[in-house]
Structure 1
Amino acid sequence: MDWKFLQGLLSGVNKYSTAFGRIWLSVVFVFRVMVFVVAAERVWSDDQGHFDCNTRQPGCTNICYDHFFPISHIRLWALQLIFVTCPSFMVVLHVAYREERERKYQAKHGESSRLYDNPGQKHGGLWWTYLISLFIKTTFEVMFLYMLHYIYDSFRLPRKVQCDTSPCPNLVDCYISRPTEKTIFTYFMVGASVVCVVLNICEIFYLVAFRMVNLKHRGSVHTSSRKIHSSTMDCGGCKPSLAS
């Protein structure tokens, strides 16, 4: 898979992200994509070829491997990275939609007229799009972590597994290639995923808190302007007092 293409697409998301979003993007590419491409793929490249069972019964090794590894860690992580990064494109598409509306508005009303102060500013519908994308990313992260733990019953890979699935003649012992190394990489990828979940949650709280502060500030400004306007109207008929 060409991860550079994905990196090029997500680079446009960076300029619309908050500080937490930029840290999240750095964690994804440095500690997940780069580790995945440089090391993890090579570690799991021989997982099926070196899955050895103490039997020569035709088909037994393949059946046992499929039983204990219904989906490879490396393929599950590839799906996870795709599903986790895709919601960020919602923000890019929404900004592109705003820029297109801005272009049509200026073409109709003149170059000096503006529909948005800044098409990339997170307010209104774009704020909701950004917030929803964070919830979707967090949901996918948690879902894939649960799937990994559910499928393999643990994040730790055993050295030996036992299988009695047909066509195996009896209970046979099967041995996983480099289980310690694979366990270390599994914990590393799980840890990076947990960090991304924490960053997403922090960004959600940041966006909500920032929005509440802005709404409170606008409400206080609006109330102050109403009081000033009311005082001006009440004193409209007042006469200036003569100096004594």
Structure 2
Amino acid sequence: MDWKSLQALLSGVNKYSTAFGRIWLSVVFVFRVMVFVVAAERVWSDDQAHFDCNTRQPGCTNICYNYFFPISHIRLWALQLIFVTCPSFMVVLHVAYREERERKYRAKHGENTRLYDNPGQKHGGLWWTYLMSLFVKTAVEVIFLYLLQLIYDSFRLPRQVSCKLQPCPNVVNCYVSRPTEKTVFTYFMVGTSVICVILNLCEIFYLIAARMVNLRHRGTVHTSACQIQAESDFDGCRPALKS
């Protein structure tokens, strides 16, 4: 997987993100992608080759390994990183759509005209797109954490498992390679996923709160303007009433 290309694509998201979004992006690259590429892939590189069972029955070891590890941790985390980062592209595409509309508007009405004050400003439809991307990212994180716990029944890898599946002749004991090291990495990846969920929730509440404050401020300004206009109209009519 070309993680450099993914980093180049997500670098454009950073300038449209809030402070929480920038922290989330840093956590994803430093504590998830870097750890995944540098260390985690190597830890799980020999998981099937070093999965030993106390039998020489052909096919028994493969059957037991596929039963206890239906999806490799490393492949599940790779899918999780892809699905988690994809919603951020919604924001980039929306901004690109706004910039294209801005270009066509200026070409039609002149270079001094403007359709948007700032195409990357989170107002209107872009605000909803950004908020929706946060909900999708949070849902994906929770779903993959649930799948990891459901498939392996725990985040802790056992040292030994017992298997009784065909073509195994009887109950055989199988031994997982480097279970402690893999358990440490599993808890680390789960912990960073939880941190990313918390950051997404904080950003959601921040966006909603900022939107409510902005709408309240607009309502206050509009009410004040109406009151000033009403008083001006009344003062303007007052001399006529005296005459």
Q: Is the pair's TM-score, using the shorter chain for normalization, greater than 0.5?
A: yes
Q: Deviations over 1:16-61 (max 9, x none)?
A: 0000000000000000000000000000000000000000000000
Deviation at 1:117, TM superposition (A): 0.3
1:26 matched residue in structure 2: 26
Unaligned runs of at least 5 residues, structure 1: none
Equivalent residue letter for 2:168:
C
Q: Distance in 2 between matches of 1:164 and 1:97?
A: 57
1:195 matched residue in structure 2: 195
State percent identity of aligned pairs: 80
Equivalent residue letter for 1:215:
L
Deviation at 1:238, TM superposition (A): 2.4
**Stretches of 4+ aligned residues off by more than 2 angstroms:** 237-240
Q: Distance in 2 between matches of 1:24 and 1:47?
A: 30
Q: Distance in 2 between matches of 1:105 and 1:99?
A: 10
Q: Distance in 2 between matches of 1:93 and 1:56?
A: 55
1:159 matched residue in structure 2: 159
In the superposition, the TM-score normalised over structure 2's length comes to: 0.98
In the superposition, the TM-score normalised over structure 1's length comes to: 0.98
Q: Distance in 2 between matches of 1:14 and 1:237?
A: 55
2:104 matched residue in structure 1: 104
Q: Distance in 1 between matches of 2:62 and 2:236?
A: 92
1:183 matched residue in structure 2: 183
2:72 matched residue in structure 1: 72
Q: Secondary structure at the match of 2:236?
A: coil
Equivalent residue letter for 1:22:
R
> Aligned residue pairs: how many?
240
Deviation at 1:233, TM superposition (A): 1.0
Please tell me whether residue 204 in structure 1 is matched to residue 215 in structure 2: no
2:56 matched residue in structure 1: 56
Alignment of 1:120-131 (within 5 A): 120-131=120-131
2:147 matched residue in structure 1: 147
Q: Distance in 1 between matches of 2:92 and 2:111?
A: 24
Q: Deviations over 1:87-108 (max 9, x none)?
A: 0000000000000000000000
Deviation at 1:237, TM superposition (A): 2.2
Deviation at 1:234, TM superposition (A): 1.2
Q: Distance in 1 between matches of 2:68 and 2:123?
A: 48
1:113 matched residue in structure 2: 113
Q: Distance in 2 between matches of 1:65 and 1:27?
A: 32
Q: Distance in 2 between matches of 1:156 and 1:217?
A: 51
1:135 matched residue in structure 2: 135
Q: Distance in 1 between matches of 2:50 and 2:76?
A: 20
Deviation at 1:82, TM superposition (A): 0.1
Q: Deviations over 1:1-26 (max 9, x none)?
A: 11000000000000000000000000
Deviation at 1:184, TM superposition (A): 0.2
Q: Distance in 1 between matches of 2:170 and 2:209?
A: 61
Q: Distance in 2 between matches of 1:166 and 1:237?
A: 98
Please tell me whether residue 85 in structure 1 is matched to residue 95 in structure 2: no
Q: Secondary structure at the match of 1:169?
A: coil
Equivalent residue letter for 2:79:
L
Q: Secondary structure at the match of 2:238?
A: coil
Q: Distance in 1 between matches of 2:237 and 2:59?
A: 100
Unaligned runs of at least 5 residues, structure 2: none
